[in-house]
Structure 1
Amino acid sequence: MLPFKLHQDRLFSSDPAQRAIARRLYEQVASLPIISPHGHTDPAWFADNAPFANATELLLVPDHYVFRMLYSLGIPLDALGIPRRDGSRADADPRQAWRLFAQNFHLFRGTPSSMWLNHVFHDVFGLRIRLEARTADTYYDHITAALSRPEFRPRALFERFRIEVLATTESPLDPLHHHANLRASGWNGRVITAYRPDPVIDPEHEQFPAALEAFGAITGEDVHSWSGYLRAHRQRRAFFAKAGATATDHGHPSAVTADLSSVQAGKLFDRIVRGKGSAEDAELFRAQMLTEMAAMSVEDGLVMQLHPGCFRNHNRALFERYGRDKGADLPLRTDYVHGLKPLLDRFGNEPNFRLILFTLDESTYSRELAPMAGHYPALHLGPAWWFHDAPEGMWRFREWTLSSAGFYNTVGFNDDTRAFLSIPARHDVARRVDCAFLAKLVAEHRLDEDEGVELAVDLAYNLPKRAYKL
């Protein structure tokens, strides 16, 4: 069995001067509270505070970063116990699924997943031998036994990780019972929601017809009329805000926006709800709804997040069997300059509007996104996302946005994860990368070290808290 230890200087420069500066900067941020303003963890974990079942259910099943890699190299999702789209699951023994994962852990060498998982193994569970086929059962038994103890319940881990606030993400159709139970429980942990209206905004979403009917039922509005449909959104946004939401989130194929007249929008909506809309109508409707959501954000103050440029569920066979969010979302070329202009013409200078932009198209950082955020008061840049939330992607993000957007038109870091225990690991990686980046600027005399310290704290804590109105 091989020994296992995390190096204290991981992700810092091999240059001694820069490494020393990075160490000093990191000391100032390593223990700061975590602001997690955008993610996809399950609020039921914190509302019910029930023990996690075992190592597989905690660390493998919810993490599509992990099982997508295994799937790409020939390991079936059924063998890992991944739930299917219809709610059923293969009869996979969780211990055997863990053994399969451990036998193939070498596939993750050098990836961000290996950094996050090793952080969890080392710092959360205190393991000091390397995960491999020979140690699979040792890991499984150690982690599963730990999960039965009170200090490994979800709320206890939330407090141990120094999470100050954590946002989940829910559909407009979600009654938010778990959030209500949390507020009534007397627990001091702050878990809030975010409004993700995609199922009732995207006519090409597989749930759209049924979701629209449910949208009308839950709001009591005539959602087949344009005015009633917009009223339903305002009603649900207010409901989400009452449950703690400070932000909305939108996952669109493109960044195209539109600013149609009320008459034009009504006619378009009528074609959509009658099932007569074309693919072009669907794109135009999504574009118009981004502008409508921006208008509502000006009214109610919710921060708007846009995650475009993603071909979601690219693997049709996998989607049909297992549903959404199974690791098959792929980057697309994205035009922000032209796409966002209709929305920005109306709201780009609006003091009560904030739009946080994300991208999977890294070529847009220096060409489009940073110059736009460096001009429009309403625009801020979200951190590196999905394939790019690796150390290299985080570094590129800083390099390609600094000259035209600076640091203060960005929003710090958010983890965007479904895997609860990866939250402190992901934030630690982001803090280390930022400290290494700032150390380089200090070593090159582009920053004084006291400025580097202030920036490190802002990037780790102040900027996300401010950007998301937390």
Structure 2
Amino acid sequence: MPLHPDGLFSPDPTVRSIARRLYEGVRALPIISPHGHTEPDWYAYDLPFPDPATLFVKPDHYILRMFYSQGMRMEDFGVPRLDGGPIETDPRKIWRRFAENYALFRGTPTRLWFEHSLATVFGIEERLGAKNADLLYDRIAEQLERPEMRPRALYKRFNIEAISTTDAATDALAAHDAIKASGWDGQVVPAYRPDAVVDPSRKGFHAEVERFLALAGTPTSYPGYLEAHRIRRAYFKQRGATSTDHGHPNARTADLSKAEATALFDRVLKADVSPEDADLFRAQMLTEMARMSVEDGLVMQIHPGSFRNHNPQIFTEFGFDKGADIPTGTDYVHDLKPLLDAFGNDTRLTLILFTLDETAYGRELAPLAGHYPALRLGPPWWFFDSPEGMYRFRKLTTETAGFYNTVGFNDDTRAFCSIPARHDMARRVDCNFLAELVADHRLDEDEAQEVAHDLAYRLAKKAYRL
């Protein structure tokens, strides 16, 4: 079912009327997607998406976690087992299971994104269910064979002006080189994600650091390790990168002396790393990354507060990113202080903070961003990338941080077809929030229209230097 023209607007007729006008002014603006997880190979090689299940179901951890919570097996949705055990390989059967259980997504943003995609991308306005599963599968599959459904064509159709992928520090960025060599005019840039070489608690950390140092051609020493980051950041920047991204368990930062940091680096390279040393090293590296951002101009993002792989059975059998990550409480006031003491007043740094702890919005994040020139607030993320989450974000942060210490919206998605849906949702929620301020006589409508344009387009473009 397509979204109603007044979807996500207030039932109050005065507010709804204003929201409609504001939304009409931003509805068709280009999309700036400055942080996400789509595959650069899609744009580099422009191959057709293989089938509806691979496009919509198999890569979506929102869908997988819902089905698993209802006692269904990951294998039945085509999720590969690490031990190579049997899984469902028939995409039509996977799609049928999705359709048979589609009612589980009632009231969730997953349903809004999916139905927006069906309606706007494939022209399908029927609600998915067991009875029409095969019919809709065939309609989508037939369209996926057309040239206008390939990634580059959809990029243009979605009115994307710029999109960033997220790439490991050791990635060769071959797909990005292929995009540039092809002469295609889409703007697809990488983002530097060094988690695998800064988190000693991760499996394979030591081997990854060895590979990282070898790529950079630097020695196995703390100065050599830092220089390797500078070299790899420059490599990314040469290929269009404007940002870095850091997904740490918490927001802890540290600013150790050179001697202390060197000794810590030597300890984390040993086989048995203590939890405290692992945490302290991550903390030190956030400050080092801020220092490098002051030097090279890359915008820094911190995505903290997820207890990754909370379900050990799922992690053992299927690996990362299968819907078993859980939000945790996060301290920003104390944990960020070492970094802010060093760089919080430096206008050369843009540090964008995200959270999975909504209780921190009004108490910590908005006051911090409302004071430190280096700080900006990222939009609602992951579990709170929803109409209610977006509305709570504006309600809890605007009075203290205003609109202009935020960075607009980014979709943070792996699901390509959901990008327009997510941006449309954000634009509708923001327009409705602004309409309430106009109806309360706290903003004039011309001001609200300007802010709506900033939130939908200009702020993200400016913050991420795109």
State the TM bucket, normalised to the shorter chain.
Answer: over 0.9
Distance across 2 between alignment mates of 1:104 and 1:22: 34
Instruction: Answer whether contact 1:78 1:92 (CA < 8 A) is retained.
Output: no
1:130 corresponds in structure 2 to 127
Match of 1:240, SS state, is: helix
Correspondence for 1:27 among 24, 29, 34: 24
Letter aligned with residue 77 of structure 1: M
Q: Decide whether aligned partners of structure 1 residues 338 and 188 sit closer, same or farther in structure 2, where only a CA change above 3 A counts.
A: same
Correspondence for 2:344 among 340, 348, 370: 348
Match of 1:249, SS state, is: strand
1:199 corresponds in structure 2 to 196
1:353-380 CA-to-partner distances (Å, cap 9, x unmatched) read: 0100000000000000000000000000
Instruction: Answer whether contact 1:28 1:453 (CA < 8 A) is retained.
Output: yes
Match of 1:230, SS state, is: helix
Q: TM-score, normalization: structure 1? A: 0.98
Greater shift, 287-296 or 120-129, is seen at 120-129
Letter aligned with residue 97 of structure 1: I
Unaligned runs of 5+ in 2: none
Q: Decide whether aligned partners of structure 1 residues 294 and 86 sit closer, same or farther in structure 2, where only a CA change above 3 A counts.
A: farther
Query: What is the number of residues matched between the two proteins?
Result: 466
Q: Does residue 459 of structure 1 match 2:455? A: yes
1:52 corresponds in structure 2 to 49
Deviation at 1:5, TM superposition (A): 3.8
Distance across 1 between alignment mates of 2:44 and 2:310: 33
Distance across 2 between alignment mates of 1:33 and 1:82: 34
Letter aligned with residue 390 of structure 2: M
2:146 corresponds in structure 1 to 149
Greater shift, 361-370 or 206-215, is seen at 206-215
Distance across 1 between alignment mates of 2:82 and 2:300: 29
1:205-240 CA-to-partner distances (Å, cap 9, x unmatched) read: 112112111112211112x31010001000000000
Q: Does residue 429 of structure 1 match 2:418? A: no
Q: Does residue 271 of structure 1 match 2:279? A: no
1:372-425 CA-to-partner distances (Å, cap 9, x unmatched) read: 000000000000001101100000000000111000000000000010000000
2:7 corresponds in structure 1 to 10
Map 1:243-262; keep pairs closer than 5 Å. 243-262=239-258
Distance across 2 between alignment mates of 1:353 and 1:5: 42
Letter aligned with residue 313 of structure 2: A
Letter aligned with residue 230 of structure 2: R
2:296 corresponds in structure 1 to 300
Q: Does residue 309 of structure 1 match 2:312? A: no
Deviation at 1:89, TM superposition (A): 6.6
Map 1:46-445; keep pairs closer than 5 Å. 46-85=43-82, 90-222=87-219, 224-445=220-441
Unaligned runs of 5+ in 1: none
Q: Decide whether aligned partners of structure 1 residues 5 and 303 sit closer, same or farther in structure 2, where only a CA change above 3 A counts.
A: closer
Distance across 2 between alignment mates of 1:278 and 1:245: 34
Distance across 1 between alignment mates of 2:205 and 2:89: 32
Deviation at 1:276, TM superposition (A): 4.4
How large is the RMSD of aligned CA atoms in angstroms?
Answer: 1.0
Instruction: Answer whether contact 1:82 1:89 (CA < 8 A) is retained.
Output: no
1:243-285 CA-to-partner distances (Å, cap 9, x unmatched) read: 1110000000111100100000000110111234311111111
Greater shift, 59-68 or 255-264, is seen at 59-68
Letter aligned with residue 250 of structure 1: H
Distance across 2 between alignment mates of 1:40 and 1:96: 26
Distance across 1 between alignment mates of 2:149 and 2:59: 17
Letter aligned with residue 70 of structure 1: F
Distance across 1 between alignment mates of 2:273 and 2:70: 40
Instruction: Answer whether contact 2:409 2:423 (CA < 8 A) is retained.
Output: yes
Q: Decide whether aligned partners of structure 1 residues 418 and 85 sit closer, same or farther in structure 2, where only a CA change above 3 A counts.
A: farther
Letter aligned with residue 139 of structure 2: H
Instruction: Answer whether contact 2:88 2:94 (CA < 8 A) is retained.
Output: no
Letter aligned with residue 466 of structure 1: K
Letter aligned with residue 454 of structure 2: D
Distance across 2 between alignment mates of 1:168 and 1:253: 21
Letter aligned with residue 301 of structure 2: Q
